[in-house]
């Protein structure tokens, strides 16, 4: 990075606090712009509209520059938020972007996708007085602005090439973050991806109305310019194992960042009926052009009149909003077994879904799909639930109400009840240990060592289960540093043993 903010920190300390603080607390919070709810159903473009620089600078000026910056503690990447916002407030947009990029590989993407109300913004002290600083929107703004108007993603300095080769499995958030950290430190990096294009979840999981794919393409091109190589349509598993990469293809280390991409099933009657989709298939076919998809997963989903989406997380919201865009004249229902208060996803996405006309059946669980004589789904039988005592995680357990069954007509259904880790890789790699849930066991998220120490590292959703972009990225960065340390130690060890090898002269003396 070619930027430091020592000077700025000095200016921050000179700030006339008491007066400034009162003024800052009285400032009007940002009013983000969005596409009109009706208009947005006619396109798949991002719903949030870009801020103007003066709006972002004004919003950044609401930050109180708290000494103990609780916002940073609330951010899984530990971004130095006050420092970045101070730079932004001074009009140094590139400096602010670089500050976020010091601790994050995807500040523009996290700014769009993080559930900020539970993270950085949820910890912002201004939240006790009114709306917290819109940290996510500002993070997104300064990196977008730098990319679009100030010469693209800034190029980092690269370490001298070490001659070491690392294979990265998966090109989602964990894989890309690890690849970036490794290539910057002088390692040759090859990323293996099972889908036809790199990007993993960022391309094949998140719809364009939440994340403009151009950001991902720009990031991939930037990584290629740094030297990262991508091998798509290559599935690491029984046919090409991590051991093959190490032994036959001479990689020095393997990083597993293949995520959690297997869609969970409900295991209820009728799930095999036509036009009952899993979330991944529905989202990729509904959102992506055929050329980005493998054969056998192409073409738009069934043009529905009434779609039922089962689930309450961000993926369920992506599905209901995709369904509304695929046919704006159709009815779309979200069916969730707990109440709205327990929904695990991002508040902004729920608000967007409501604005877009999605209807909700809370405290409702599908128990059966029914079909016609041609095998097409025609309805979903549901049962009402009530909330019982909290489970081990503190969430209240839904309990069925006997005799409350009812039928919801539908001609398309989508199961969006979460993802699990595909166990193919673990099963084809002797010595790798996994949990009961199929996630890969590592020594700690600070190191990412698997049971195959010094050969195979892992981080992200394949270790912690399906989670957020930022929670996949942060440990992947640490695992990459751990790989770097191990490979450097290995190189140093080789140098040392070379220098200890007896010279021809000393050999002759010995003899
Ligand atoms: Fe907030 Fe996420 Fe950005 Fe951290 S990475 S500052 S949690 S939006
Ligand atoms: Fe600024 Fe809020 Fe962080 Fe304080 S907690 S430094 S006000 S963003």
* Pocket-testing residue among 13, 61, 73, 125, ligand 2, by greatest number of atoms within 8 A of Cβ: 125
The Cα-based distances of 441 to 94, 309, 458, 477 in angstroms read 39, 33, 8, 17
pLDDT band at 447 (very low <50, low <70, confident <90, very high): very high
Residues 6 or more apart whose CB falls under 8 angstroms from that of 78 comprise 72, 103, 474
Task: Among the bound ligands, name the one nearest to the CA of residue 69.
Answer: 2
Question: Do residues 174 and 459 lie in contact, with contact meaning Cβ atoms separated by under 8 Å?
Answer: yes
pLDDT band at 21 (very low <50, low <70, confident <90, very high): low
14: pLDDT strictly greater than 70:
no
Residue 362's Cβ-count burial label (10 Å; 0-12, 13-18, 19+) is middle
- Geometric angle at alpha carbon 170, from 164 and 172, rounded to 5°: 115
Retrieve residue 142's tokens. Answer: 């300064």
pLDDT band at 334 (very low <50, low <70, confident <90, very high): very high
Half-sphere exposure of 451 (CA within 13 A, CB side): 11
**Ligand 2 centre distance from Cα of residue 66 (Å):** 6
Taking the CA atoms of residue 216, residue 322, residue 314 and residue 419 in that order, the dihedral angle to the nearest 10 degrees is -80
> What is the length of the chain?
511
Closest CA to 138 of 27, 24, 210, 48: 48
Q: Could you write out the three-class secondary structure of 29-59?
A: CCCCCECCHHHHCCCCCCCECCCCHHHHHHH
Q: What is the DSSP letter of 123?
A: G
Strand positions, DSSP E, 162-261 = 165-169, 188-192, 229-231, 253-256
Please list the residues that pair with 360 across neighbouring strands: 334
Report the pLDDT value the prediction gives residue 12, as an integer from 0 to 100: 56
pLDDT in tens, 116-172: 999 999 999 999 988 999 999 999 999 999 999 998 889 998 999 999 999 999 999
4: pLDDT strictly greater than 50:
no
The C-alpha atoms of residue 450 and residue 158 are separated, in whole angstroms, by 27
Retrieve residue 66's tokens. Answer: 């708290």
pLDDT band at 505 (very low <50, low <70, confident <90, very high): low
Closest CA to 150 of 305, 302, 3, 367: 3
pLDDT in tens, 92-102: 999 999 999 99
pLDDT band at 13 (very low <50, low <70, confident <90, very high): low
Task: Among the bound ligands, name the one nearest to the CA of residue 79.
Answer: 1
* pTM: predicted TM-score of the whole model, two decimal places: 0.91
Retrieve residue 289's tokens. Answer: 């052009």
466: pLDDT strictly greater than 70:
yes
Report the pLDDT value the prediction gives residue 7, as an integer from 0 to 100: 34
Report the pLDDT value the prediction gives residue 64, as an integer from 0 to 100: 93
Ligand 1 contact via 140 beta carbon (within 6 Å): no
Find the helix packing angle between 93-103 and 53-60, rounded to 10°.
60
Question: Do residues 388 and 281 lie in contact, with contact meaning Cβ atoms separated by under 8 Å?
Answer: no
Ligand 1 contact via 116 beta carbon (within 6 Å): yes
Task: Among the bound ligands, name the one nearest to the CA of residue 129.
Answer: 2
The C-alpha atoms of residue 507 and residue 511 are separated, in whole angstroms, by 6
Q: Of ligand 1's atoms, which has the minimum distance to the CA of residue 78?
A: 4
18: pLDDT strictly greater than 70:
no
- Average pLDDT of the chain? 92
- Nearest CA, atom 5, ligand 2: 124
Ligand 2 contact via 240 beta carbon (within 6 Å): no
Closest CA to 412 of 268, 284, 266, 278: 278
Please list the residues that pair with 256 across neighbouring strands: 169, 458
pLDDT band at 509 (very low <50, low <70, confident <90, very high): very low
- Residue located via tokens 């055929």: 290
Among the residue ranges 196-200, 420-424, 458-462, 507-511, the one predicted with the least confidence is: 507-511
Ligand 1 contact via 417 beta carbon (within 6 Å): no
- Nearest CA, atom 1, ligand 1: 120
pLDDT band at 10 (very low <50, low <70, confident <90, very high): very low
**Ligand 1 centre distance from Cα of residue 71 (Å):** 9
Ligand 2 contact via 208 beta carbon (within 6 Å): no
């Amino acid at each position: 990075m070619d930027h430091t903010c020592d000077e700025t920190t000095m200016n921050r300390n000179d700030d006339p606090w008491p007066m400034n603080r009162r003024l800052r607390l009285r400032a009007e919070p940002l009013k983000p712009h969005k596409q009109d709810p009706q208009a947005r159903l006619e396109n798949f473009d991002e719903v949030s509209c870009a801020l103007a620089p003066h709006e972002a600078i004004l919003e950044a000026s609401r930050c109180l520059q708290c000494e103990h910056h609780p916002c940073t503690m609330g951010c899984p990447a530990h971004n130095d938020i006050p420092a970045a916002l101070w730079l932004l407030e001074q009009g140094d947009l590139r400096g602010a972007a670089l500050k976020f990029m010091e601790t994050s590989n995807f500040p523009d993407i996290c700014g769009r996708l993080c559930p900020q109300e539970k993270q950085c913004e949820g910890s912002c002290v201004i939240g006790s007085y009114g709306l917290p600083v819109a940290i996510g929107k500002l993070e997104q703004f300064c990196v977008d602005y730098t990319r679009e108007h100030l010469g693209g993603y800034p190029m980092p300095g690269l370490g001298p090439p070490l001659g070491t080769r690392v294979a990265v499995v998966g090109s989602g958030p964990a894989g890309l973050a690890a690849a970036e950290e490794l290539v910057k430190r002088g390692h040759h990096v090859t990323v293996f991806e099972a889908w036809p294009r790199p990007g993993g979840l960022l391309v094949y999981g998140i719809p364009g109305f939440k994340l403009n794919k151009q950001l991902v393409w720009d990031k991939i091109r930037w990584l290629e310019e740094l030297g990262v190589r991508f091998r798509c349509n290559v599935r690491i598993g029984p046919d090409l194992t991590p051991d093959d990469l190490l032994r036959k293809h001479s990689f020095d280390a393997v990083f597993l960042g293949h995520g959690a991409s297997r869609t969970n099933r409900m295991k209820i009657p009728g799930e095999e009926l036509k036009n009952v989709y899993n979330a991944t298939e529905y989202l990729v076919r509904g959102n992506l052009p055929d050329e980005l998809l493998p054969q056998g997963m192409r073409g738009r989903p069934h043009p529905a009149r009434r779609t039922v989406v089962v689930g309450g997380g961000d993926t369920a919201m992506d599905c209901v909003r995709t369904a509304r865009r695929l046919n704006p004249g159709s009815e779309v229902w979200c069916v969730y077994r707990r109440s709205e208060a327990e929904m695990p996803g991002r508040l902004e996405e729920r608000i967007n879904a409501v604005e877009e006309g999605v209807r909700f059946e809370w405290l409702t669980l599908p128990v059966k799909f029914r079909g016609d004589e041609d095998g097409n789904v025609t309805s979903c039988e549901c049962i009402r639930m009530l909330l019982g005592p909290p489970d081990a995680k503190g969430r209240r357990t839904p309990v069925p109400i006997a005799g409350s069954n009812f039928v919801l007509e539908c001609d398309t259904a989508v199961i969006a009840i979460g993802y699990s880790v595909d166990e193919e890789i673990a099963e084809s790699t002797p010595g790798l240990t996994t949990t009961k849930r199929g996630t890969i066991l590592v020594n700690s998220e600070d190191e990412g060592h698997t049971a195959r120490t010094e050969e195979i590292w892992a981080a992200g959703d394949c270790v912690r289960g399906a989670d957020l972009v930022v929670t996949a990225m942060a440990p992947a960065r640490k695992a990459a540093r751990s790989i770097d340390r191990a490979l450097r130690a290995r190189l140093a060890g080789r140098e040392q043993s070379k220098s200890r090898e007896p010279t021809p002269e000393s050999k002759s003396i010995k003899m």
